[in-house]
Amino acid sequence: MLGAKIHRVAIAGGTHGNEFTGIYLVKKFQGYPDLVQRPSFETVPLLTNPQAFALKRRYAEQDLNRCFLPADLQSSTSTSYEALRAKELYQTLVAQPESKADFILDLHTTTANMGLTVILVNHHPFNLRLAAHLSAVNSAVKIYSAYQPGKTLAFLNSLCEFGFAIEVGAIAQGTLRADLFQRTEALIHTLLDYLDAANRNASPPVASSLTIYQHLRTVDYPKDEHGELLGMIHPRLQDQDYQPLHPGAPLFLTFDGDVICYEGDATVYPIFINEAAYYEKGIALCLTEQQTLEL
């Protein structure tokens, strides 16, 4: 059992300023705080990147969700708006006892067809059990693990042992969809109810195993020597997030009509397919391996 370890939950929205679902859920919870309060802990809704939201852009100067490496948080030379904001969030969520978060939930949206996705940044048993509970309550929930042993992640959730991100899509940047807004809000309430039950040593039972999609690697678009695109996601792959991709299956369609196929020797499960924000990062999709974890 977790015991009474969760005293304060931070619900972060707007880490990317053009992902409106999380932003307007945070605004709703700020306006109606009783919706997210639970008897055994305080819930704090937090708009994490207000300047990017004001600009209606993903970020003002750099991606805030890549600014939380310990070395960057301690650096005196990082002076971008997001670097300074990351340091402010670290002080708020970690360093100051009166505002320290015991659980961080970071809300995101994607243009990829990923439905409701929980993104793990570690494999702490409590986070795994919570993820298993969410997927049991809503069978549409998928669990993606970005955790790689020995690698330090730079995400907002890296600040806290307990917590993870929720990624919802497909939805265009800078827009709201009522159905995805409602599904995300329902998942948040299920999560908060579980945390409250865990604090009372009354966690609901979960299955003995959990299916996750473990990150393997990213794949870039075909490009020429100048970095110009030579093709796009193949029509048969578009919107097929979490579906098996077999060796020899089409990945890309070049502008002159050639098909580039997946050359791996094992079946994988692509996600973040054709994510709009990842063009600048050189990522066409992420490849994952389906795994079963014993709980």
For the chain, where are the E strands, in sequence order?
8-13, 42-47, 103-109, 115-120, 141-145, 163-169, 209-219, 231-233, 250-254, 259-261, 269-271, 285-294
Give the model confidence (pLDDT) of 104-116 as tens digits. 999 999 999 999 9
pLDDT grade, residue 3 (50/70/90)? Answer: low
pLDDT grade, residue 78 (50/70/90)? Answer: confident
If 0-12 CB within 10 Å is exposed, 13-18 middle and 19+ buried, where does residue 5 land? middle
Q: Which fold has domain 8-207?
A: Aminopeptidase (3.40.630)
- Domain segments of the chain as ranges: 8-207, 212-294
pLDDT grade, residue 2 (50/70/90)? Answer: low
Residue 209 has pLDDT above 70, yes or no: yes
Domains 8-207 and 212-294 alike in fold = no
Q: What average pLDDT does this structure show over 15-33?
A: 98
Please name which of 38, 151, 181, 165 lies closest in space to residue 106, comparing C-alpha atoms: 165
Query: Long-range contacts: 52-57, Cβ < 8 Å, 24+?
Result: 52/14, 52/16, 52/17, 52/18, 52/82, 53/14, 53/17, 53/18, 53/23, 54/17, 55/17, 56/17, 56/18, 56/174, 57/17, 57/18
Residue 136: per-residue pLDDT: 97
Give the model confidence (pLDDT) of 123-179 as tens digits. 999 999 999 999 999 999 999 999 999 999 999 999 999 999 999 999 999 999 999
Give the model confidence (pLDDT) of 220-254 as tens digits. 999 999 999 999 999 999 999 999 999 999 999 99
Give the model confidence (pLDDT) of 33-65 as tens digits. 999 999 999 999 999 999 999 999 999 999 999
Report the percentage of the chain scoring pLDDT > 70.
99
Mean pLDDT computed over every residue of the chain: 97
Q: What average pLDDT does this structure show over 212-223?
A: 98
Residue 51: per-residue pLDDT: 98
The distance of Cα 221 from the centroid of its chain, to the nearest Å, equals: 22
Q: Which two tokens stand for residue 252?
A: 């890309």
Residue 50: per-residue pLDDT: 98
Q: What average pLDDT does this structure show over 255-277?
A: 98
At the top level of CATH, which class does the domain 212-294 belong to? mainly beta
Bigger pLDDT: 187 vs 5? 187
